[in-house]
Structure formats: structure tokens, C-alpha cells
A and B are shown apart, each in its own frame.
Chain A
Amino acid sequence: METTVGLVFLYGLVTALATGLGALPFWFVRGVSARTVAIANAIAAGLMLGASVGLLLEGADYGMLQTLGGAALGLVFIVFGRQALAGREVELGALRGAGARQVLFMVAVMTLHSFSEGVAVGVAFGGGQELATLITVAIAVHNVPEGLAISAVMRPKGASILACAGWSVFSSLPQPLMAVPAFLFVELFRPVLPYGLGFAAGAMVFMVFLELLPEAYESARASTVGLWVSLSLGAMVLFQRLL
């Protein structure tokens, strides 16, 4: 038992670190025009919508009503969170003002979403140990686009690559932390899981329609935004289904 708990944590940690890899593509992107920012937002939007489709499908296995209840809580959380932060000076590393507020929300939503994912990992481990490595690899690879989504929002606002990678890893840290208790107390955590999955989906979908898409439409043609969102949405669903 002792080694297994350590193993679950270690595996969880690997999946968190993988999120940082999502910042790497931005190493190669130099100029940040308004159009690039719009496309980055569109890509992040597609990835988050794709992730939400995955969360809903998974949540449906545990209970659709609970999942949707969680999604409603996710909406409420964002509405009140925005109100609480409105008019307040937010600083996040080198970022300030409205940009920092948006990044803070993005990181907060993705971090909360990792709590649910961590529980999902732990519950899955509890189900059967031989699947452990497979699930870890799957979650780790699936975290890379999540890091990409965070970096796509942070980088154009002037954050360094290191900051993008750092906050991406940070957003996934709850995974190993939640995976262990969920693994140890599967029966306790299983009923909460659909709420958590739904919460993450609701918060992410709302972020997309509240922040990412309107910003994307401001500085790119609707057809450009539509194509990038569809492409990244399809890629994310493919990714999650195949792994």
C-alpha cells in the first residue's frame, strides 16, 4: 500500500509537469500582432470547449444531473468571482490591470478543473491498478494542450515563457494532491466526482463565451476565428478519445 500511494503521487506529479510543455510552442512565436492574439484566444477557446465535451461525457457516466448541477455552480463561481475582483488592482508577475485579471481567472479555472481531474485519476486508479501507467500517460499528454491554452492567453499579454510554463504546471498541481486521497477513499470521492467534472466544464465553457471568443472576434475575421476554434476543438476531442 505504501509504495502504491507514493506511486500515485509520483504519477500525478509527472502529469502536472507535462502541462508546462504546453508553453514550449511559444518559444517559436515571435511577433505578437493583434491577429496572433486573436488566433491564440481562438485556439484556447477550442481546446477548452473540447475539454468540456470530454468532462461532460465522463460526468454522464457518474450521473448527468449531478454533472449539470456542478456546471451551474461553475457559472455562478465565475460571475461572483468577477464581481469580487472588479475594480481591484491585480498583479500577476509582470502582468497588470485587465490582462492580469483575465489571466488570473484562466489560471484559477484551470487549477480548479485540475482538482476534479485529480479525483478522476485517483478514482480510476482505485478501479484497477494495471491501468495505472496507461492512465498516467493519457492524463500527462492530455495536460499538454491545457498548458497550451493557458500560455496562449498569457504569452500575448507579455508573460515570459518561463512564467507561462510555471503557471501551467501550477494549474495542474492539484492533480497529484487530489489523486492520493481519492485513490485511498474511492467510495468517499466517487459521489462528488460528477459535481467536480461538471463544475470544471461549466466554468470553462463560460470563460470561453465570456472572455476568449469576444476578444478573438475583435481583431480577427469571424471565419478565421471559426476555423481555429473548430480545429482545436476537434483535435482536443480526438486526443481525449484516443488516449
Chain B
Amino acid sequence: MQHAFEAGTLVAIIAGIVGYFVVLRRSSFAAHALSHIGFAGAAGAVLIGISPVFGLLLFTSVGGIGITALGPRASHRDVQIGTVLAFMLGLGVLFISLYTGYATEAYSILFGEILGISSLDVIVTAVAAMIILCAVAAVYRPLLFASLDEEVAEAKGLPMHMLGIVFMLLVALATSIAVQVVGVLLIFSLMVTPAAIAQRLAKQPWRALLASVIVSLLATWLGLFVAFYEPYPVSFFITSIVFIFYMVVRFIYPRIRWNPIRAQTKPLINRHYADQPCQ
């Protein structure tokens, strides 16, 4: 339980941060695909008898660079990414069937098994988390600018290709460690939804990042807490809590806020145009 809490906390922080860039770059499908590519890696690692996290790291990193190699705006190439994704899932199924051990291994890769996490996994998670934090701190402003305004950033001479690769490697690393908590299939709940919630709560990137981290932390901690008393999977609780947060922010929050960030309709009269004499 202590391992689960440590790893869960690290993963929640990282997923909240990296997830914000995923949402900003509209690359959630690429992130989703990376976790599926990681499935083959994790299954392969289990087959040869090492910790799944190493297989995840290898496959997602190679997959991330591969997606970048498809060219600029690669994260929107749904068909190509989807094709590779399906192939990798198939490969994962093969590895799992070759593995003669317990079927629970496959189950825990797909849906996460944080309670069974080892101390080695916690160390790997901590190292990966440190690397991600340092990398995000280093590329924070250029990555933010390139994500928000690609064309102007390119014209300003930002190294777009390099930033694309750095971003995909960040996603690969974050996905690899997040899979331990929520599994390959439920990666959205930590990598995308908290950031999407945060984007509705805050207009400034650093505040949104903070909100994203808080949401994923709350969901992870609450999930672990409930799972301690109830005999159901942690990932179920985490995904449910995140889902409830999302519904509240999406549908109830705009109504109770006197000045919603995202006004549903544009103002009919524009103040400063109205002020100016019309020629």
C-alpha cells in the first residue's frame, strides 16, 4: 500500500503536467496510441521475465519517435497511428498467449494493478518523474508557444521538430509509468481528463497545470483510499472520480460561476467596436 501511494502520487503529478500539453496540442489520440504500443512492450517484458515497466519504456519511446517521424502535425494522422496501434495490440496478444504464467499479468497491464507494485517499480517511477520534471522545466516556454501557435513559433525560428520529439518522449515516459496505475486501456483518465478539466478552470497555463495536477492527485489518492476499504479495482475508482469531476466542471460549474471562462455565446455587441465611430 505504501508503494502504491508513492507511485500513485508521482504518476498523478507527471500525468497532470504532461497531460496539459497533450490537451493543448490536441494529441490525445497519439497519447492513447502510445499506451497501446506500450502494451506490446509490457507483454513482451512479462514474457521474458522482467518488469513490464521496462518493456513499456522501450516500446513507447520508439513509438513516440516513430510518430514524430511521420512528419509535422503527425499527432493528427489518425489512420497511420491507428494502424500501428492495432498491430501492436495484436503483438501484445501474441506475447500474452505465449506466456504460460498467470492470466492476471495481462489483466494488470490492461487495467492497472497499482497495489501489486514493487519497490523497484517505485524507483523507476521516481527516476522517470524526475527526468520529466526537469525536461518540462527546460522546454516549458518554447513548448507552450509551439503548442499554442505553431505557425508563428515556426516563423520565430523555434526548433519545431526537436520540440515535437521532446514532447512525444515526454508522453512516452509519462504513459509508461502511468500504465502501472490505471493500465493501458484507462490511460485517458489520468493523461487527458484532468488536463481537460483544468483547461476549463484556468486561463493561465501555469494555473491550468496546477489544477491538472491537483485533480489527478485527488483522484488517485481518493481512489487508493476507497480501494483500501472496498474490494474493487483502484483503477475503477480513479476513472470514476475523474469522470465525476469532469461532469461537474463541464455541466454544473458554468452555471454557478457568475462569469464563466468559456462563455457559451459570443457577446452580441462588442464593446470597443461600439465605442468607435463607424465610418
A and B part of one assembly: no
